[in-house]
Amino acid sequence: MKTITDLKVLIVDDSSYMHTFIGTILKREGIKHLYHAMNGEEGINIFNEVQPDVVFLDNIMPKTSGLEVLEIIRKSNKESKIIMTSSITSTRSIELSKELGANYYLVKPFIPDMIRTIFSRFFPNNVLVPAPI
């Protein structure tokens, strides 16, 4: 069974701020295998190469949208946990993401504890705990 430190996490977002924000939280919690993609096409390529356990996937990106990436990923992989991230709060957007196979829809902006909560649901035996200050 994998521990939190063994997990591979891919962040697909066109915002370097989101890469830094999510990456910093995950590193503090012990995640060692972080991968980054700045657009959907790059995300698909890295996903196919690394087969991450968890993907943070921005909904709105240039060229290939997060929903398109989600649909492509789910055709070949049903196991990876996919967390859609977006500032779009419409019910339709959330429903469509879930229909296409997202495991969670995280509305931006969000606080670090939300990531801990999501990981505790996905991996109940390996809960992330707040790192000491």
Per-residue pLDDT of the chain (133 residues; tens, 9 = 90+): 678 888 999 999 999 999 999 999 999 988 999 999 999 999 999 999 999 999 999 999 988 999 999 999 999 999 999 999 999 999 999 999 999 999 999 999 999 999 989 988 888 776 554 445 4
In the chain, where are the structural domains located? 4-122
Query: Can you give the pLDDT at residue 36?
Result: 98
Pairing of strands 8-12, 33-37: parallel
Query: Can you give the pLDDT at residue 64?
Result: 94
Query: Can you give the pLDDT at residue 65?
Result: 95
CATH says 4-122 is which class? alpha beta
Query: Can you give the pLDDT at residue 133?
Result: 47
Can you give the pTM of this predicted structure? 0.92
CB 103 within 8 A of CB 83: yes
Burial of 75 (0-12, 13-18, 19+ CB in 10 A): exposed
Q: What's the CA gap between 77 and 99, in Å, rounded?
A: 15
Q: pLDDT, tens digit, for every residue of 63-75?
A: 899 999 999 999 9
Alpha carbon separation from 7 to 88, 90, 97, 107 (Å, rounded): 28, 31, 23, 23
